[in-house]
Amino acid sequence: MTMAFDGQRVLVTGAAQGIGRAIARHFAAQGASVFAADLDLAGAEATAQAAGPHCVAHRLDVTDRVAMRALVHSLGVLDVLVHCAGGVCGQVGRPLEDVTEADWRSIFAVNTDGAFWACQAAAPGMKARRRGRIVLIASGAGLGISLTGIQAYASAKAAEIGLARQLGHELGPFGITVNAVAPGFVRSNPSTEAQWQALGEERQAQLVQGIAMRRLGQPDDIAHAVLFLASEQAGWICGQVLQVDGGR
């Protein structure tokens, strides 16, 4: 099965590292014009360099609705939107009574709010063309629990999955598919590496033994799933969440 994206315009948020970088790189390799957006402009530029001439870096704070709308407007009508920006904002697991309002809201802002602002900005152009693909990068934590015990992260990713389902029904009549990918544990950036090290050798071994494939995921594993959901071959898949976790 060949998945080609020649001439398609693809926006990837959270593209400065890890999974977002892999997604941008794979789309560019398949002929897409890729816009790699991230608050970390230097990281996004490194992604663009790795992806080649068909990828351009942009600075973007996904929590800023006005900035999101301005960027999408400047790019023209998108064929594909991938919201990969997110994460735990440097937080660690704590008892719920120790979580501050600011900490709770910061995780929702980048994960759930950012996903909504991105979809809201991209949808009008896609609706006018009656075609589009939206893929939200959620997490296995949104379907189960956060391995690190971060309540806001599990909640925000569950909300992101719910958003994909809801928007799939709203935008499907316009020829737009909306789906979510829920990765398992992937050591893809400094935050996930710190989480991995904090587990300790015993819990690391237990985690791997709980995976059917007996290995952790790689950013490319997630990118392959995203490209499939964005492809013509996935044109009748909408409002779904695809777990890419090696079998849990």
Sorted by where each begins, the domain ranges of the chain are: 9-188+218-240
**DSSP H or E stretch at residue 177:** strand 176-183
The catalytic residue positions are 153
User: For the chain, what percent of residues have pLDDT higher than 70?
Assistant: 98
* CA dist list (Å): 1 to 4, 201, 236, 246: 10, 39, 16, 21
Hey, what CATH topology would domain 9-188+218-240 get? Answer: Rossmann fold (3.40.50)
pLDDT band for position 1 (50/70/90)?
low
106-161: pLDDT as tens digits:
999 999 999 999 999 999 999 999 999 999 999 988 998 877 778 989 999 999 99
Are the CB atoms for 16 and 47 separated by under 8 Å? yes
The stretch 47-65 carries a mean pLDDT of 97
Q: Quick one: pLDDT band at residue 223, thresholds 50, 70, 90? A: very high
Mean pLDDT score of the chain: 93
The one-letter amino acid at 132: G
- At residue 69, the pLDDT reads 98
- Tell me the three state secondary structure of residue 246: coil
Above pLDDT 90, what percent of the chain? 74
